[in-house]
Amino acid sequence: MVVLSNQSALNELFLVKTCNPSTIFTEVPVVDLTHPDAKTIMVKACEELGLFKVVNHGVPLEVITRLENEALKFFKQSQSQKDKASPPDPYGYGSKKIGTNGDMGWVEYLLLSTNPDIVSLKTHQLFHQNPQVFRWCVEEYIGEVKKMCCEVLEKMADGLGMIAEGRNVFSRMIREERSDSCFRVNRYPPCPELKEEGALSGRNLIGFGEHTDPQIISVLRSNNTSGLQICLPDGTWASIPPDHSSFFVNVGDLLQVMTNGRFKSVKHRVLANSSMSRLSMIYFGGPPLNEKIAPLPSLLSREEESLYRELTWREYKNAAYKSRLSDNRITLFQKS
Q: Footprint of ligand GA4 on this chain (CB under 6 A)?
A: 90, 98-99, 101, 103, 111, 182, 184, 211, 213-214, 284, 320-321, 323-325
**Please, which residue, 306 or 323, has the CB nearer to ligand GA4?**
323
Helix (H, G, I), strand (E, B), or coil: what is residue 102? coil
Check if the beta carbon of residue 186 is closer than 8 Å to that of residue 280.
yes
Check if the beta carbon of residue 219 is closer than 8 Å to that of residue 247.
yes
Of 269, 278, 309, 324, the active-site residue reads: 278
**Please, which residue, 39 or 317, has the CB nearer to ligand GA4?**
317
**Please, which residue, 82 or 155, has the CB nearer to ligand GA4?**
82
b or e along 11-42 (b: 16 or more beta carbons within 10 Å of the residue's beta carbon)?
Answer: eebebbbeeeeeeebeebeebebeeeebbebb
278 flagged as catalytic: yes
**Please, which residue, 111 or 296, has the CB nearer to ligand GA4?**
111
Shortest CB 186 distance to ligand GA4, Å: 8
Give residues with Cβ within 8 angstroms of 165, minimum separation 6. 157, 296, 297, 298
List, in sequence order, every residue forming a beta bridge with 280; answer none if it has no partner. 186, 222
Check if the beta carbon of residue 255 is closer than 8 Å to that of residue 333.
no
**How many residues are recorded in the chain?**
336
76-79-83 Cα angle (round to 5): 115
- Distance set, CA 5 to CA 114, 129, 193, 199, 326 (Å): 41, 40, 12, 10, 26
Which amino acid makes up residue 192? P
**Please, which residue, 76 or 324, has the CB nearer to ligand GA4?**
324
- Distance set, CA 12 to CA 83, 146, 194, 204, 270 (Å): 18, 37, 15, 15, 18
**Please, which residue, 39 or 269, has the CB nearer to ligand GA4?**
269
The residues that are catalytic are: 278
